[in-house]
Amino acid sequence: MSNIREVARLAGVSVATVSRTLKSPERVLPETRDRVNVAVEQAGYRPNLMAVQFRSRRTFNLVVLVPNIANGFFARVISGAQKAAQAAGYRVLLCDTLGCEATEREFAELVHAHQADGVLQLRAYDPFASTSDLSDVPPIVNACEVLQSGRHPTVSLDNRAAAKAVTQHLLDLGHRRIGLINGPADSPLTHDRRAGYEAALREADIAPDPALICPGDFSLKAGYDGVLQLLAGPERPTALFCESDEMAIGALKRIREMGLRVPQDVSLAGFDDIELAAYCDPPLTTIAQPAEQFGQQAVEMLISLIEKRPLPARHVTLPYQLTIRQSTARVAG
Amino acid sequence: MSNIREVARLAGVSVATVSRTLKSPERVLPETRDRVNVAVEQAGYRPNLMAVQFRSRRTFNLVVLVPNIANGFFARVISGAQKAAQAAGYRVLLCDTLGCEATEREFAELVHAHQADGVLQLRAYDPFASTSDLSDVPPIVNACEVLQSGRHPTVSLDNRAAAKAVTQHLLDLGHRRIGLINGPADSPLTHDRRAGYEAALREADIAPDPALICPGDFSLKAGYDGVLQLLAGPERPTALFCESDEMAIGALKRIREMGLRVPQDVSLAGFDDIELAAYCDPPLTTIAQPAEQFGQQAVEMLISLIEKRPLPARHVTLPYQLTIRQSTARVAG
DNA sequence: TTGAAAGCGATACCAG
DNA sequence: CTGGTATCGCTTTCAA
């Protein structure tokens, strides 16, 4: 593989001139420049980025920690992140952490090892939690699922308000017994969404009933299993709010298997507005999140951090949208 | 950030000794070793991987080119790839190329720029097609959707046989008019699956009818749109084979909207066996592909290539499995 | 067993 | 405008 010296030799100039021609051509005589360019061509020369980065102490790599790549929502976040990164001349080192803290810490360490310039974390875990010396904490942005510490910049959604809006929508349709299938217990998303759900109920003078709330984890299976528990009791709810579309789709299957219809017997609402939500039968009422924007905004903030540009805002909240389709209807009777 | 010199100073040894202690401790006196380790600890030293890689000319990075991260099938392939990479001490640089050849070439170039040791391509496009000098082609493995050139090692599925098996299954159920919704026209997958479909028909003495074949692109929408065309004619097919589960799910929605039932009026089969296939109503008959294995095998081959170990086989074919659920049934009448 | 020193490839400073 | 050269942090001979 040819190097800069080889090119210099071919062009009959010094390595310094080759470097200059490539980096700031205006500082080189056009004639010399041409000779160098010819030599570059001839040698099939490509700068060894390893060396460049080593020298400049910059990698233009961003580590993105994803809890689960297979999740349609994160896939869109990643897509947005990648576009923003590419636009700014950065690359994305994607890591499917499966929610494993050790893995997350390990990958975050890549920054300390000079393998990346910053970290984008899409889960509520601070891989640098144990680093008390703030000057030792590299550029990091937290998006989607954020920490309350406020230590790092964040991009989030007002999950409480969104969940409240969905619940309100169900209340408006006359529902009084509304079931909830939660997300993972340790996630702030779950906490906020549940809080929004309960707030809406209370404002309608309905006491939240713990028997109507069941644990989940955002997966198809959790929705499928959750329904069994929620619709088993004597006074079954007339509506169900699932904290993710995947759970809603799992729930839908089980509801059908139990011989009930959506929305005639049970109204069903999800969260995320994944592509599939519109293709369900019936199409799913849900909360649309600007997934791509999460990734894009977060990456832009991260790059500002890296390049030490001022951040317009340390904490950004993106808008949600209640998307009403046919899975929710006025309560029967 | 502390460097190796700092550690050497603290331990009162030379940088060479520090390096040795870290790389081959057995070549260092235990006593010295301990002193070095203490110094490492004390200085909070972490080797600058940039420098290590620069010096050793190895990055332990693998570029993985994915046509579409949002696709559930690829998500599983990636998961398998990542596990295999991690197990071998490599990292994955994931690139969502969106099928853009320029992007693919650009990322593949990272190998030439010494940013990665090899490339895993999950699509039938050779980013080094223009490189005629074989010694200039870096380690690369092609998986899932493979090229016919045979230039690079591959991991694939016998798509023709799999499609033939699905079609045979439908024929066995008494179907004679079987529609097909194709994948992208430029993909070998599409070609092979269609060939399998036609072969099965011919063996049953049925002439493939072009009017029963419609173009698609593996997306929900393509399935949704395709049905409109296929079921519009006077002699509508009694069964439909979609070359991806996503298209089958889109098709399902449209079939319902047309007032037809699956499988009573139309049998429906997909391909991929994504998680959702089992959660459809009715659950989808489909071809299960060992997605994780694709990623795992391909990465293992790639690493063998990189480390110049002999490959057990240059072309690996993984097994498929016809998974029969409730979306296909004996033809009515 | 340990240390001194020569690079890896590119950059940038300082002279000329 | 151009060239010589020190330097980034680490690895790896080669000697001692």
- Among A87-101, A133-147, A160-174, B61-75, top mean pLDDT goes to A160-174
Query: Which tokens in the block code for residue B274?
Result: 């994504």
Which residue among A49, A59, A96 places its CB closest to the CB of B78? A96
Per-residue pLDDT of B267-292, as tens digits, reads: 999 999 999 999 999 999 999 999 99
What is the tens place of the pLDDT at every residue in B200-254? Answer: 999 999 999 999 999 999 999 999 999 999 998 888 999 999 999 999 999 999 9
Q: Looking at the predicted structure, is the pLDDT value of residue A162 above 80? A: yes
Can you read off the two tokens belonging to residue B87? Answer: 């197990």
- Which protein residue lies nearest to nucleotide D3, measured between its Cα and the C1' atom? A14
Q: Over pLDDT 90: what percentage of chain B?
A: 80
A305-327 average pLDDT score: 96
Q: How close is the nearest chain B Cα to the Cα of A94, in Å? A: 6
Work out the pLDDT band at B70, boundaries 50, 70, 90. confident
Chain A, 45-74: which CBs lie within 7 Å of strand C? Answer: 45, 47-48, 51-52, 54-56
**Nearest residue in chain B measured CA to CA from A250:** B279
Residues of A with Cβ-Cβ distance to B280 under 8 angstroms:
253
Parallel/antiparallel/unpaired status of strands A154-157 and B118-121: unpaired
Band of residue A97 on the pLDDT scale cut at 50, 70, 90: confident
Q: How many beta carbons lie within 10 A of that of residue A300, not counting itself?
A: 20
Give the residue whose CA sits closest to D9 at C1'.
Answer: B51
Nearest to A41 by CA among A30, A33, A49: A33
Sign of CA dihedral B301, B305, B308, B311: positive
Nucleotide nearest to A16 (CA to C1'): D3
| Closest nucleotide over all strands to B57 (CA to C1') | C8
Whether B220 and A276 lie within 8 Å, measured CB to CB: yes
